[in-house]
Amino acid sequence: MSTNQRFVEAAPSDVFAVLADGWLFPSWVVGASRIRDVDLTWPSVGATIAHSFGSWPLVIDDTTTLLEWQPDERAVFQARGWPLGEARITLEVQNRLGGCLVRMTEEAVSGPGSVLPSALLDLPLRFRNDEALQRLAWLAEGRLRDTVQPS
């Protein structure tokens, strides 16, 4: 299991606006290369995003399902990437002065990753998820800048 956190200079609602747009998924999820479909009910619990990861021609098609959705506070995803396995990703957002703190926890729940020692998976996940949080921050902070009109 790997846990990363990042301060984002935007409100929790800006972070969740990015998460609520399933078509932005490959913009912040490291490794996701394209979106094939987003359920019309996204971001409701049980909705899925059909995505691909990898680089052509080595692309794997699979899905991510939304398990929990508490706007501006918490979202939990089940990401599938067979034959590599499945992971549960939890994003927790706490309001802070000048922005919010986003904590991302990823845990392998099935497949090869679930039987490997956590210490072996933690380092690559830490680097990947640090980049994912940076991308998520840029998108949320960009939304904030786009809504603020100069006076």
* pTM reported for the whole predicted model: 0.90
Query: By CB neighbour count within 10 A (0-12 exposed, 13-18 middle, 19+ buried), where does 87 fall?
Result: buried
pLDDT tens digits, 26-82 = 999 998 999 999 999 999 999 999 999 888 888 999 999 999 999 999 999 999 987
Please provide the average confidence, as pLDDT, over all residues in the chain: 91
Q: Are 35 and 23 in contact (CB under 8 A)?
A: yes
pLDDT tens digits, 9-25 = 999 999 999 999 999 99
Vertex 38: Cα angle to 60 and 45 (nearest 5)? 105
Q: For residue 149, what pLDDT is reported?
A: 55
Which CATH superfamily is 2-146 part of? START domain (3.30.530.20)
| Residue 87, strand partner residues | 79, 108
- Residue 112: asked if its preceding bond is cis (omega within 30°), the reply is no
Residue 120, pLDDT > 80, answer no
Q: For residue 98, what pLDDT is reported?
A: 95
Instruction: Give 3-state DSSP helix, strand, coil % of the chain, rounded to 5.
Output: 30, 45, 25
| Residue 7, strand partner residues | 101
Reduced 3-state DSSP string for 50-116: EEEEEECCEEEEEEEEEEEEECCCEEEEEEECCCCCEEEEEEEEEEECCEEEEEEEEEEEECHHHCC
For the chain, how many helices (H) and strands (E)? 3, 7
